[in-house]
Amino acid sequence: MKSTHLNQTGPRRAFSGVLVLILALGFCLPACAQKDKAGDKKPAAGAGQVLATVDGKPITDTDVKAQAADQFAQLQREFESNQHQLLENQLEQAIQDRLLDAEAATRKVSKEQLLTEIKAADVTDADVDKFYEENKAQIPRPKDQVAGQIKQFLQQRGQAEAKQKYFADLEAKHKVEKKIEPMRIQVAADGPTKGPATAPVTIVEFSDFQCPFCSRLIPTLEQVKAKYGDKIRIVFRQFPLPMHPNAQKAAEASLCANEQGKFWEMHDVMFKNQQELAVDNLKTKAAALGLKADSFNQCLDSGKYAAKIQADQKEGSAAGVNGTPAMFINGRFVNGAVPLDQITTVIDDELRRKGA
């Protein structure tokens, strides 16, 4: 049966963050990919198939894939992720259709009438002003130029949240039990840690000390730790980006500080002032934290942890990280400096699944 309600991605994904609007103010979707013509299709290469010869020597499918193993693995991962996302979206729609059928039958009304009950509060000028003031650092345009877009965004977000609450209430009433497993990408919890190893939820964060978005995530993770306590373990892994000239040495400095039991203290002072991450600044910060200067300086100057950082980057890239911050919450990928509710939604679901 054809759905009578809006076919859209779940509101938690569609309207969970400010970045949705900010990207909308200046971001264009890529062009559509050209469809394959049925007559142009060729057999897919198979393992060991000869794709070319040079002086009579074969180059096989296996040879080519071995040379670009990381890229092929990423394509496969993206395909599986997109496929799973589509499955989740369609399942959500199917559940909502059945909930509407059940509720309409119970109340003896039409499904269309039920949908008219989903109403969001009106967006006021004060709401627009508040949103702009809270996010103007990320919206480099005057308020009068973006007020209409902000209002539209807030209206859409409010409607999505109202819909989410409406169906959440119906799910509780009609006893919905979701058995689908979320997409998980396993990454090692190999890095400085906050929280017990026995915590039911582990957040592995890939971060860059010179990345401004990474610094914005810190207060959010502090709120997460305050809310969930020992139910959460946070593991920090390194992913310095090439565009940030001081990020590599800052990453090394954090691990040199970790040798002396002060990783998180060094983590905090570096993120607090990302403009002072040159090597001399790092040594000054370490001394101010009471670290043994000779040991720290030798560690930093020697590049002792460069290989460890490179290993973190390699594993992060293999898991799909291409920017920072990036998190894996029990293997569930969460990209960017997302709002608190987007993180807690995943954590709450993980705790429910584990009966914690």
Query: What pLDDT is attached to residue 123?
Result: 95
Q: Residue 201: helix, strand or coil by DSSP?
A: strand
Within 10 angstroms of residue 289's Cβ, the number of other Cβ atoms is 15
Report the pLDDT value the prediction gives residue 34, as an integer from 0 to 100: 35
Least confident of 18-32, 64-78, 186-200, 310-324: 18-32
Q: What is the pLDDT of residue 45?
A: 57
Residue 25 predicted with pLDDT over 80: no
Whether this model's pTM surpasses 0.75: no
Query: What does DSSP assign to residue 133?
Result: H
* Structure confidence by residue, pLDDT tens digits, 51-85: 999 999 999 999 999 999 888 888 888 898 899 98
Q: In the chain, pLDDT over 90 holds for what percent of residues?
A: 73
Decide if pLDDT at 137 tops 90: no
pLDDT of residue 7: 38
Average model confidence (pLDDT) across the chain: 88
Residue whose entry in the numeric block shows the structure tokens 């946070």:
234
**Terminal CA-to-CA distance of the chain, rounded, Å?**
38
Q: Above 70 in pLDDT, residue 235?
A: yes
Domains (range + CATH), the chain: 15-23+71-173 (no CATH), 193-353 (3.40.30.10)
**With contact defined as beta carbons under 8 Å apart, do 351 and 201 qualify?**
yes
Residue of 233, 288, 291, 284 whose CA lies nearest to 259: 291
Q: Is residue 28 predicted with pLDDT exceeding 50? A: no
CA 68 to chain centre: 25
Dihedral sign of CA atoms 83, 87, 221, 272 in order:
positive
* Three-state secondary-structure class, residue 53: strand
> pLDDT value at position 70?
81
Q: With bands split at pLDDT 50, 70 and 90, how would you rate the model's confidence at 21?
A: low
Report the pLDDT value the prediction gives residue 138, as an integer from 0 to 100.
75
Mean pLDDT score, 122-142: 88
What does the alpha-carbon distance between residue 320 and residue 183 come to, in Å, rounded to a whole number? 13
Record the tokens describing residue 318, joined without a space. 């293999």
**d(C-alpha 155, C-alpha 168), whole Å:** 20
Q: Residue 42: what pLDDT?
A: 52
Asked if residues 239 and 207 have their Cβ atoms less than 8 Å apart, the reply is: yes
Q: What is the pLDDT of residue 140?
A: 82
What does the block give as tokens for 54?
């040079």
pLDDT band at 19 (very low <50, low <70, confident <90, very high): low
User: Does pLDDT of 1 surpass 60?
Assistant: no
